[in-house]
Amino acid sequence: MSRVKDASNSIKVGMVSLGCAKNLVDSEVMLGILKDRGFEIVPDEAGADVIIVNTCGFILPAKQESINEVLRLARLKQGGRLKALIMTGCLPQRYGEELAKELPEVDAFVGPGEITAIARVIRDVLQIYRTGQPGRPAGRRPVLISEPRFIYSHETPRIISTPPYTAYVKIAEGCDNRCSYCVIPSIRGRFRSRPIESIVSECMRLAGNGARELILVAQDTTRYGEDLYGTFKLASLLREISRIEGVVWVRFLYTYPTHITDELIEVVACEPKICKYFDIPLQHADDRVLRMMGRRNSREDALALINRIRTRIPDVTLRSTFIVGFPGETEDAFDSLLDFLEETKLDRVGVFAYSEEEGTPAEALPDKVPEDVKEERFRRAMELQRRISREKLEARVGSEEMVLVEGLSEESDLVVVARSQREAPGIDGLIYIGDATLKAGTFHQARITGASDHDLAAEIISPA
Ligand code: SF4
């Protein structure tokens, strides 16, 4: 055993992963590296010597959640059991030095570009803990923030924390789109893809370990490959992954509307393993607001895209997100967004009230929308979509669909929850089935028997 492992194998590390699935993959990579270096990974906070909080710094509510979580965990240090608290991810990348001044409870700050140094950081911090004294100066705490260039490979250790039948695969990192309201490009760096071979190799290993549903993520999955191969390669990648034995469903999330090619639509239409599901954050439907947002499509482009996808894949599920209350969004512009939702009747829609972020071009825009107006528009958009969602789900009653059982529902021991290819985990509704004998991770044919605003009920017809 190496000296590193000798030094680390009694140290118990816990992880709290906040934010999106892309951040979750970073958390899993850090856990993999730590386990590889001899640290013990523990699931409960109470038994940990060190806790890593992998934060999200995207918009204000996410930042608040991250800080609250750090302050809550800091209380465990007062009891003496928890020796160190480490903050990683988007928030320290954005505010590293500032946080170091404001949060003496945190022992180290590590940006997304430095996560491979996590084992060394923990050892350094514990060394300070053993030899230092409480109230040490902030300058002694590690603050590792750099231009993010890192992206993991199939050889990077990783511990999958999702249920064994589902795994996320990050195919690229960073973003080159420069939407005016978004801080991601400055936090996550330039867009960079992983080579196809590396992704396929990782997917084969995941499938060999029991993953049946693979979910490809990136800030912009549709740009995948452009930097490495000079052209968009998501369609080719999906074809390759579809050939892997054991994989039942392949999903991809976070597409950019103007990067969706006919080839990509064709591959989704033709490859049975690829879920007939497009997640296309459109952000708005008024041309002037779209221009102010720095988006590259118009309302007509979005309508044409939706039409193109639905014509080729009539049973497709379309998901999108929209921002309300962006600077300069007049009542007319907001109405045109509501008209768009009514006209397109998208299956799944997320709505966010605009959150102004320091350092973004949108911060300098005039004609800010007051908070109460933003809230009111948020409620109106959500209410409209609630009705549309119910109509869309009611239209599925009586249909037969293959479902993946996820386990017992939180509400009842007699009911399991499941998803069809139309429901992505964590963001869409669920399908409730009154048969507690169904095992998590198994596929079945089910008949949809009922619908509510966001969820469905079903009965099993036969194993898939
Ligand atoms: S596409 Fe736009 S909103 Fe999405 S991560 Fe890139 S810059 Fe941000």
- The answer to whether 121 touches 108, Cβ cutoff 8 Å, is yes
* 283 CA closest ligand 1 atom index: 3
Closest Cα to atom 2 of ligand 1: 179
Spans of all domains in the chain = 3-144, 166-394, 400-463
Does the reported pTM lie above 0.75? yes
**Site to substitute for ligand 1 among 90, 94, 181, 220, most atoms within 8 A of C-beta:** 220
For 257, the token pair is 């509307």
Residue 445: CB within 6 Å of ligand 1?
A: no
Half-sphere exposure of 19 (CA within 13 A, CB side): 25
Closest Cα to atom 1 of ligand 1: 177
At 315 the pLDDT is 96
In the reported structure, the alpha carbon of residue 36 is separated from the centroid of ligand 1 by a whole-number distance in angstroms of 33
Rg over CA atoms, the chain: 23
At 130 the pLDDT is 60
Torsional class of 44: left (φ above 0), alpha (ψ -120 to 50), beta (otherwise): beta
Residue 175: CB within 6 Å of ligand 1?
A: yes
In the reported structure, the alpha carbon of residue 52 is separated from the centroid of ligand 1 by a whole-number distance in angstroms of 26
* 254 CA closest ligand 1 atom index: 4
Cα angle 451-351-384, degrees, rounded to a multiple of 5: 50
Residue 172: CB within 6 Å of ligand 1?
A: no
**In terms of CATH, what superfamily is 400-463?**
Nucleic acid-binding proteins (2.40.50.140)
Residue 294: CB within 6 Å of ligand 1?
A: no
**In terms of CATH, what superfamily is 3-144?**
Methylthiotransferase, N-terminal domain (3.40.50.12160)
**In terms of CATH, what superfamily is 166-394?**
tm_1862 like domain (3.80.30.20)
At 309 the pLDDT is 98
In the reported structure, the alpha carbon of residue 98 is separated from the centroid of ligand 1 by a whole-number distance in angstroms of 25
At 128 the pLDDT is 66
Residue 185: CB within 6 Å of ligand 1?
A: yes
| Residue numbers in the chain where pLDDT is lower than 50 | 1-7, 133-139
At 111 the pLDDT is 93
Strands (E), 280-393: 317-324, 348-353
Can you tell me the distance from the alpha carbon of 130 to that of 124, in angstroms, rounded to the nearest whole number?
Answer: 10
Cβ-in-10-Å burial (0-12, 13-18, 19+) of 64 comes to exposed
Residue 256: CB within 6 Å of ligand 1?
A: yes
**Site to substitute for ligand 1 among 90, 181, 182, 186, most atoms within 8 A of C-beta:** 182
Can you tell me the distance from the alpha carbon of 77 to that of 67, in angstroms, rounded to the nearest whole number?
Answer: 16
Say which amino acid occupies 13: V
Residue 177: CB within 6 Å of ligand 1?
A: yes
At 6 the pLDDT is 42
In the reported structure, the alpha carbon of residue 287 is separated from the centroid of ligand 1 by a whole-number distance in angstroms of 18
- The answer to whether 185 touches 178, Cβ cutoff 8 Å, is yes
